[in-house]
């Protein structure tokens, strides 16, 4: 990091985005830089990249890139046929943009604030799918039996509240 900017140190072209491909890449980097012990790593929000990185460097704090969080949400908006409604309904667009903004509030407040945002979205099957996707993928949920099901990407991974207060980047700077 230099003057508040995160500068990529390495670009790698991989044959695919499997955990095995990422693991081979991290292991090769480890061989090339055996003394590397990164304190924090900003990664795409991809399970294979994160899991394999944590396997090679278990003591490094891994954070998900804010750009990729918003990109994942936007892809889901498009996949559930909300793009047209998002473009033409200002209120829907405003409340939908509140979802990735949760990355900047205290992690302990995220579940309750997400519930508040979800309540303000007009209930349609498509919006229900978006809310369910974000809850399942980024928040975690309690099922009917009272059992908590963990999120695919837990809040601590994608939440940037502390990093923002410390002036750390939330995504790579070009």
Rounded (10°) angle between helices 125-134 and 90-101: 10
State the Cα–Cα distance between residues 62 and 54, nearest whole angstrom: 8
What pLDDT, on the 0 to 100 scale, is given for residue 1? 46
What pLDDT, on the 0 to 100 scale, is given for residue 5? 52
Is residue 86 within 8 A of residue 77, CB to CB? The reply is yes
Is residue 157 within 8 A of residue 63, CB to CB? The reply is yes
Decide: residue 93, CB within 10 A, 0-12 exposed, 13-18 middle, 19+ buried. middle
Is pLDDT above 80 for 174? Answer: no
> 37: Cβ–Cβ under 8 A, 6 or more apart, which residues?
57, 59, 60
Q: What is the pLDDT of residues 112-144, one digit of tens each?
A: 999 999 988 867 888 889 999 999 999 998 888
Question: Token digits for 166?
Answer: 């410390």
What pLDDT, on the 0 to 100 scale, is given for residue 131? 92
């Amino acid at each position: 990091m230099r003057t508040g900017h995160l500068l990529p140190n390495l670009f790698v072209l991989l044959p695919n985005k499997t955990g095995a491909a990422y693991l081979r890449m991290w292991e090769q980097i480890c061989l090339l830089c055996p003394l590397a012990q990164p304190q924090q790593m900003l990664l795409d929000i991809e399970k294979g990249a994160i899991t394999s990185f944590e396997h090679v460097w278990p003591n490094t704090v891994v954070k998900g890139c804010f750009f990729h969080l918003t990109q994942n949400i936007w892809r889901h908006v498009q996949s559930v046929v909300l793009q047209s409604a998002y473009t033409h309904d200002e209120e829907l667009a405003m409340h939908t943009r509140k979802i990735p903004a949760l990355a900047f509030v205290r992690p302990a407040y995220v579940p309750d604030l997400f519930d508040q945002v979800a309540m303000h979205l007009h209930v349609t099957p498509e919006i229900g799918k978006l809310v369910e996707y974000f809850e399942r993928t980024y928040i975690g949920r309690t099922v009917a039996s009272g059992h908590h099901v963990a999120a695919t990407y837990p809040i601590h991974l994608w939440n940037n509240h502390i990093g923002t207060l410390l002036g750390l980047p939330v995504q790579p700077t070009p």
